[in-house]
Structure 1
Amino acid sequence: MALPCLPSVASGHGLPCRSRERGEKAEIRLPTSAQLGETIANTDKLSATKRAKLRGRLSTKPGLNRFLRVTPKGLLRIDKAAIKAEERLDGKFLLRCSDPHLSAEDIATGYKQLLEVERGWRDMKTIIDLRPVYHRKEDRIRAHIQLCWLALLLIRITETTCEDTWTNLREELERIHVGTFTGPAGTFRQRTETSPAQRTILAKLGVTEPKRIITLEPGTTV
């Protein structure tokens, strides 16, 4: 995420920044305003009571309600002023730092690294499903921390290599299953056929596809 900082404010005070990645999220506003336009279309023909009921329902939907305007006569309109106000703030945010000697680039980089650290902790608690483990010996404590760090590192390498999130990659790979089949000839375990998306992920990671037939045990003849 690029964080080019605007040089209009000196370091050590409020530091306005612009993020290209956050700016692209403005595209979400277009379908939202379009949906609101469809919802309130032809509402001028409704009675004041029905418009008030619709206004009440829209007030429970923050995404639509923030662009809704009610005229003095109770008519429902899209608030174009609110949309323009949001457009002026697209991709912009404010960073504050207590050290006036840091450059704008260092402050932005530090905040970006902080976000990555916080993301790592969230991933360890949710994706890796990390839970408190109480160790008594120092070597076990160090081993536990290193295993967690290696698991998180593996996730990051996988995301970088495949250019996708770990959630999407894991969801796709978890569709590979192994079934056990038993018949007169014996018992065998076979994995499902890999999809093109699964083969692409494995190829990018340099991982060989698992064997199609895992085990094969001939049946006993009487």
Structure 2
Amino acid sequence: MYLRTTQRRNKDGSIVRYVQVAHNRKVDGVTHAEVLLNLGREDRLDRDGLTRLVASINRYLGEPAPAALPGDAAQLVGDHLHVTESRPMGTVYLLDGLWRMLGVDDALRKALGPRRFTTDVERVLFALVANRAIDPMSKLSAAEWASHDAAIPGLALMDDDQAYRAMDVLIEADAQAKVQEAVFFAVANLLNLEVDVLLFDTTSTYFERDTEEEGDQAFRRYGHSKDHRKDLP
């Protein structure tokens, strides 16, 4: 049994080839090719289907599977392939592209300077940001999420200690808020934003006491309240 091709010439001179499964039979001492199955035109041949057929035959005969298999490899090679781990990466991959487009990775590396760390701090920080965007949780759970539930480019594993250390390193290294500044201007440039007027909000802080302090150096006195509380200093 074998594959063979036949051809037909069209009126315009073009040649069309056909693929067939055939085997030879002897009739009155003369060998004839008997067509068992027509597979159709060669230019429209389902090559992946043929590969699956070859893999199925090899599996039946106990032969190793072909070196390169397209399509669903698990279906083709059966017991020869074992899935050890599977993690989604679509949303993380998108966020990683945006992270790099905004230059956050470069800004972090500049802020961290030439110091060397046993863990890629930039990747750990990205994993924390990605977790916050996709499935917010605690630092401990975020570390488990990055290690088992999501495919973080450039980071196979991390733990909660690395998460806390990465944040401490960032706070120490970026005391002048250079990373925030770089991200702000990158976003403004990407979205073509006008930044002539900036509104900066702060947390309200106030004291509660029965009366205000007296004297020239008194600090706790009635004044402007951001929360529109005239009864508070």
> What's the TM-score, normalizing by structure 1?
0.19
> What's the TM-score, normalizing by structure 2?
0.19
Structure with the bigger RCO (C-alpha within 8 Å, sep 6+) is: 1
Q: Which has the higher helix share?
A: 1
